[in-house]
Amino acid sequence: MSYQTLEISTLTPHIGAEVHGVDLSKPLSNEQFSELYQAWLDWKVLVFRDQHLDREHHKAFARRFGRLHVHPMQHSYGGDPEILTVKTTQASRYTAGDGWHTDVTCDEIPPLGSMLYIKETPECGGGDTLFADMYRAYDMLSDRMKSMLEGLVAVHDGAQPYLGAYGVAPPGGTAYPKNEHPVIVTHPETGKKILYVNSGFTTRIKDLNPWESRMLLNGLFHFIESTVQLTCRVRWEPNTLTFWDNRCTQHHAVWDYYPHSRYGERVSIVGELRPAA
């Protein structure tokens, strides 16, 4: 993987890369954009340091990849519907994303990617984000497990994190999205297979007895959270933007900095296709 217009330094040999020499507040040339797009597919998680962006810059960069997403919990934040604020202080009851998940898989078409721009980091360190490579997770399963999971469909329910974990009720008279996706999906652009269940949203596997579904999901979640070879770790500095391919990764925002604060803004891009086998 070599690029003409970008300089890349990798975080691990399979997931995560820092991109140097790009100013995201300026329009990208077509050549730069197509190389960035390729680097994003190659490395799944791209980290851009020392970016000075206002909300319009952030959204303009995201719009190069597609339409902007409105988060199902947006009613509880107010403000710009296309910006999800990620704010944790001493007074917070929870921090967004503090557990392994893929963003908003309760949607019929989950975001294809998210861009988180961190402006304030905890003064004593901490607040890193871990990312896991779900191609690699699939590849590490045994052939017998792969064939057992192939063809199964799982339920992804927004009520589990948003209501259950965060305690935020949906807007009056509505329910959070709940949708079904295959347990093994194929990335629409790379054609590679992905293990597509996450402990944030996936509540059960259809057509199994409840105990069978629980056993299988607990086993897969344990595999994901305990297999450090799947991961890279992004250590934030103020003005870092990280852009992940939400179709083939999971992430975990580590809340290890209480009582200090962390602040960022996330923009996500709506996918065009339902996750498919």
Q: In the complex, which residues of this chain contact ligand SIN (CB under 6 A)?
A: 86, 96-97, 103, 114, 116, 129, 251, 253, 266
Nearer to ligand SIN, 19 or 104 (CB): 104
Active site residue 101: yes
- Please state whether 193 falls in left (phi above 0), alpha (psi between -120 and 50) or beta: beta
Nearer to ligand SIN, 43 or 184 (CB): 43
Active site residue 50: no
Helix (H, G, I), strand (E, B) or coil at 92: coil
Whether the Cβ atoms of residue 249 and residue 42 lie closer than 8 Å to each other:
no
| Shortest distance (Å) from residue 25 CB to ligand SIN | 22
Among residues 158, 177, 174, the alpha carbon closest in space to that of 166 is found at 158
In whole angstroms, what is the distance from residue 83 CA to residue 48 CA? 19
| Shortest distance (Å) from residue 198 CB to ligand SIN | 11
Element (H, E) at 153: strand 153-157
- In the chain, helix, strand, coil percent, each to 5? 25, 30, 45
| Shortest distance (Å) from residue 35 CB to ligand SIN | 25
| Shortest distance (Å) from residue 276 CB to ligand SIN | 24
Nearer to ligand SIN, 167 or 210 (CB): 167
Nearer to ligand SIN, 184 or 253 (CB): 253
- Residue linked to tokens 């007074």: 91
Among residues 154, 133, 159, 91, the alpha carbon closest in space to that of 227 is found at 133
Query: Choosing from 101, 156, 204, 247, which is the catalytic residue?
Result: 101
Nearer to ligand SIN, 4 or 90 (CB): 90
Query: Choosing from 69, 251, 252, 262, which is the catalytic residue?
Result: 251
Active site residue 266: yes
Radius of gyration of the chain (CA): 18
| Shortest distance (Å) from residue 76 CB to ligand SIN | 15
Measured on CA atoms in the order 61, 64, 67, 72, is the torsion positive or negative? negative
Which residues are known catalytic residues? 101, 103, 251, 266
